[in-house]
């Protein structure tokens, strides 16, 4: 794939619109899962959800997980999935939200961890529920596994 086609693909992916309420519901549902594993962070998560920037960022993180999850199992093997992750996860906006929401670096790390885990949870669900598309797309199981691992190991 040439550079211009890759740019066009990234732009198209970044403009995919999904239902806001469904994405927010996913974020809220995930917060319950997250708090079971991190009960000591409950006060922070509650405070985060009171802030509009955090709510917006949670919706964006869930959207990124959905869109990249579907693309991981459908895109041509010649397309660099790592490049898609790099250009379709808006880390810059997340850092701005962290600055607006968090009082200090430690709190920002908690917010970053929550959003990272939210993306991974949503990606994993979409990937797992739809990986049977491999039969239609003809992608190898090793490529699907590689893309899954690329997403899971990405530093958000």
Average pLDDT over residues 63-88: 95
Mean pLDDT calculated for residue range 111-129: 96
The CA-based dihedral angle spanning residues 29, 102, 106, 118, taken in that order and rounded to the nearest 10 degrees? 20
Whether residue 131 is predicted with pLDDT greater than 80 in this model: the reply is no
- pLDDT tens by residue, 5-16: 999 999 999 999
Residue 154 burial by Cβ neighbours in a 10 Å radius (0-12, 13-18, 19+):
middle
pLDDT at 25 (0 to 100): 97
pLDDT in tens, 32-71: 999 999 999 999 999 999 999 999 999 999 999 999 999 9
Q: What local confidence, expressed as pLDDT, does residue 59 receive? A: 98
Q: Which two tokens stand for residue 112?
A: 């970053």
Residue 133 has pLDDT above 90, yes or no: no
């Amino acid at each position: 794939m040439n550079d211009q086609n890759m740019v066009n693909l990234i732009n198209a992916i970044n403009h995919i619109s999904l239902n806001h309420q469904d994405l927010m519901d996913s974020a809220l549902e995930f917060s319950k899962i997250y708090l079971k594993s991190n009960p000591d962070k409950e006060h922070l998560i509650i405070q985060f959800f009171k802030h509009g920037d955090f709510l917006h960022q949670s919706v964006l993180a869930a959207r990124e997980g959905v869109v990249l999850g579907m693309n991981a199992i459908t895109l041509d093997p010649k397309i660099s999935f790592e490049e898609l992750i790099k250009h379709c996860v808006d880390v810059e906006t997340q850092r701005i939200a962290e600055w607006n929401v968090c009082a200090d670096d430690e709190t920002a790390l908690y917010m970053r961890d929550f959003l990272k885990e939210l993306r991974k949870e949503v990606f994993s669900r979409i990937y797992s529920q739809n990986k049977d598309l491999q039969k239609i797309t003809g992608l190898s199981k090793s490529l699907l596994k590689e893309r899954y691992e690329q997403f899971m190991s990405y530093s958000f």
